[in-house]
Amino acid sequence: MSKALTWAAFADREPELAAHGRRLLYPFGPAVGLGFLATTRGDGGPRVHPVCPAILGGGLYVFVIGHSPKRADLARDGRYALHFFPAAKDDESFYCAGPAREVSDPRARAAAVPGFAHAVRDDEALFELRLARALHTVWERPRTPETRPIYQRWQA
Amino acid sequence: MNWEEFTKAAPELAQLGFERIESSGMVLLGTLRPNGFPRISPCEVIFCDREAMLGMMWRSPKALDLLRDPRCVLHSTVSKTDGSEGDFKLYGRGVDVRDLAVRKRYCEALFAKTGWQPSEPEFHLFVVDVESAGFTRFASGKKTQQAWKR
């Protein structure tokens, strides 16, 4: 886990994969990122929630509501997985996973706020999502008997 | 409990969930990797035989996750950014289906819906043993929330 990278370091190492990720993170245009964040519940089971991540200043960030279960999950067990999959069809998707770290510096938090489309509330906590692995999937000939996934993988 | 039993226990919530899942036919499935990390995978849902059925490619990572640890969560897809369509979550356990008659009915339902079906025995089939569910929607500045637990 110590080898997990910032988004910028990941993009330096895997520019093509990172370009796919950035494109799929912003399916509605550059203003609003959309993804599904998976965390680990207190009992060890998985939790999934839609979030609006953003790539800002070389990092991948997400705000989560301060008293939400997923914030408690990330505070207790920082392991996350993020899947960019907004559309009804799953012909293409991007997935990354690694450790999430809360940004406690108020100046860094304040600097990130303008990078998000929604009105960030005072009780939202900012997390940086570092990458330990990434996966881009494209389905060739989707919804036909000949369909097959084409994977592009990276692991720190 | 199976999907039909869930619809009897929480009919309004189940109907909201059914509509949200059927709008795309897909969910985001949360499972657990061998090292305890959460995993998310898109997954097609077929409502058939009183069950919510999840078909998966043979030996796919999410299928292997469920065979090792059946805990899972299904989340509806999102096609709008304003939250007006609502989010549906279903927590439960993925139960491996080996019964050939049930698998055949799943294949027939999948074929009727998509024009495609997998071949035996090269696919995994799970039904969801429902434990809890929730629905949240933001529309016209109003939040609608429903939750149910077994």
Complex-level ipTM: 0.91
Q: Which of A16, A23, A12, A14 is nearest to A93 (CA)?
A: A23
Structural domain boundaries enclosing B111: 3-138
Q: Among A87, A93, A143, select the one facing B79 at the smallest CB separation.
A: A87
Question: Rounded to an integer, what is the distance from CA B57 to the centroid of its chain?
Answer: 15
pLDDT computed for residue B18 by the predictor: 97
Per residue of chain A (156 residues), give pLDDT as tens: 558 999 999 999 999 999 999 999 987 777 788 899 999 999 999 999 999 999 999 999 999 998 999 999 999 999 999 998 655 556 888 999 999 999 999 999 999 999 998 899 999 999 999 999 999 999 888 767 677 889 999 999
Check residue B142 and give its pLDDT: 85
Q: Collect all residues of chain B within an 8 Å Cβ-Cβ radius of residue A46.
A: 30-32, 38-39, 71-73
The pLDDT value recorded for residue A32 is: 84
Amino acid at the residue A138:
V
Any domain includes B44: yes
Residue B114 lies in a domain: yes
- Reported as a single tens digit per residue, the pLDDT across A90-124 is 688 899 999 999 999 999 999 999 999 889 999 99
Number of folded domains in chain B? 1
Domain spans, chain A: 7-155
The maximal CA–CA distance of chain B, rounded, in angstroms, is 49
pLDDT computed for residue A110 by the predictor: 95
Architecture of domain A7-155: Roll (2.30)
Q: Report the CATH number at residue B12.
A: 2.30.110.10
Interface mutation target, options B40, B68, B72, chain A, most CBs of A under 10 Å:
B40
pLDDT at B101: 97
Token output for A53 = 């991540």
Return the higher-pLDDT residue of B139 and B91.
B91
| pLDDT of B68 higher than 80 | yes
**DSSP 8-state symbol, B109:** H
Residue B65 lies in a domain: yes
Q: Residue B145 falls within a domain, yes or no?
A: no
Q: Give me the pLDDT at residue A141, please.
A: 81
Of B29, B73, B78, nearest to A34 by CB-CB distance is: B78
* Candidate from A95, A143, A145 with C-beta closest to B40: A95
